[in-house]
Amino acid sequence: MMNFVQVMIDALALGSLYALVALAIGLVFGVMRLVNFAQADYITLGAYSLVVPTASITPPLLFGALSPALMILAVIGMVTMLALMTERIAFRPLRRSDPATLLISSFAVSYFLQSLLTLVHGGRPKAVNIGGALTQPVEFAGIRIPGVQLLTLTVAMTLLVALVLFLKKTPIGIQLRAAAEDFQMARLLGVPANRVIAIAFAISGILAGTISLLFVIQTGLLSIGMGITPVVYAFFATVIGGMGSLGGAVLGGMVVGVASALLQTYLPADLRAFRDAGVFGLVILILLVRPQGLIVTGAAKERV
């Protein structure tokens, strides 16, 4: 029983993490029909900004050397800037393109950022140690929970609630939801396109920055491809949630995260390496039953 509670906390922590990434992707998809591959590289770049670019595998700290509050601000600020820059330089000129073209262009942006990172930091994985104290397990009512899981869960839940409040209560949030629902109509009703899209990217940047920090605290590793797995998970989360539905993105993120954690625990040991394949297979199975995703919105089908 105790063990089960621990597993569930694990699952929820992972689920809420993926829900955050999926929400970032869902927001941007909602306002401009862009499935943003580069989200992965926002995360990676955020993590790499902690260290000084050298070829060493245990590099000296850059942002990581700042006090915790400043470090968080610096990393999130930098990733947000990066997200806004990619929007301004690469995605804005393509705004009128069809989703397939946008998808390819985000793939190109992602590849560009990856090669840039390889060029600056070298291709080898690196070790970095921040927030070491947070990895200590916490005893709570007889259950030992790794501190990082607790932190991830708290941060993710707080951000999710904050985002929901932002989207539901503030005028800008409402504009954003309106734009995600029907961009043309929202524009006709006076929602400024550039601002809404910029805000969606800024939020996706803030989320990416946070996630990169959580990741580094958890694993202590930096690698060029570190952002890819969570973002690919988040892609499938938005697809099974229903493309264009923000609630769907969160739900989908929870589903893939929880499924992944449960498979990790309950698969027989020699099959555990195939966990990701199991989750992605599950994605395809869900799609087989509900091709439009769990929550279907008007955005899912192209209008005639």
Q: Which residues bind another protein (CB under 8 A)?
A: 35, 90, 93-94, 97, 99-101, 103-105, 107-109, 111-112, 114-116, 118-119, 123, 228, 232, 235-236, 239, 243, 273-277, 280-281, 283-284, 287-288, 291-293, 300-302, 304
The residue among 154 and 184 lying less far from another protein, judged by its C-beta, is 184
- For residues 18 and 180, is the Cβ–Cβ distance under 8 A? no
Burial code (b: 16+ CB inside 10 Å, e: under 16) for 127-159 equals: ebebbeebeeeeeeeeeebbebbbbbbebbeeb
The residue among 71 and 250 lying less far from another protein, judged by its C-beta, is 250
The residues near 76 (Cβ < 8 Å, ≥ 6 apart) are: 46, 205, 206, 209, 210, 213
Beta-carbon count within 10 A of 280 CB: 16
What are the counts of helices (DSSP H) followed by strands (DSSP E) for the chain? 11, 4
Query: What's the token pair of residue 70?
Result: 């400043």
The residue among 102 and 163 lying less far from another protein, judged by its C-beta, is 102
* CB 107 to another protein: min, Å: 7
The residue among 118 and 170 lying less far from another protein, judged by its C-beta, is 118
- For residues 148 and 161, is the Cβ–Cβ distance under 8 A? no
* CB 66 to another protein: min, Å: 28
Report the alpha-carbon distance of residue 127 to residue 61 in Å, rounded.
11
H/E element holding 143?
A: strand 143-146
The residue among 108 and 161 lying less far from another protein, judged by its C-beta, is 108
Pairing of strands 137-140, 126-127: unpaired
The residue among 72 and 282 lying less far from another protein, judged by its C-beta, is 282
The residue among 6 and 292 lying less far from another protein, judged by its C-beta, is 292
* CB 257 to another protein: min, Å: 16
Start-to-end CA distance of the chain, whole Å, equals: 54
* CB 292 to another protein: min, Å: 7
* CB 175 to another protein: min, Å: 24
* CB 35 to another protein: min, Å: 6
* CB 176 to another protein: min, Å: 21
H/E element holding 101?
A: helix 99-121
